[in-house]
Structure 1
Amino acid sequence: MAYNSPRDAVLKLIKENHPAVFLHGVRNGSYNAPSLSQGSRRIVPLL
């Protein structure tokens, strides 16, 4: 397969660096955050 996916590129980069420890974390943008930004809250009642 000739297709290079972004996932494979990241895994290759990690492998080339030979880290002693690799910590992987995923940050969810909606975690512990309001569902609408302050600007959106001011606009929604006007619609």
Structure 2
Amino acid sequence: MSAYSTLRSLAFMSVITCGLITAGWNGARNLGWSHDQDRGDVIWVNTDHR
């Protein structure tokens, strides 16, 4: 394997890895429990005007 081929393979693997990490992060952020406002003793007051 040449050096160019090795660098190209590493670059491709890093792009794939970053894509998988980003997809996992976005999936974890969109889970329902991460947006739950009932977290124990904290009282949330809705101050939105209707």
TM-score by length of 2: 0.27
**Larger Rg computed on CA atoms:** 2
Structure with greater contact order relative to length (CA < 8 Å, sep ≥ 6) = 2
- From the two aligned structures, give the one with the greater helix fraction: 2
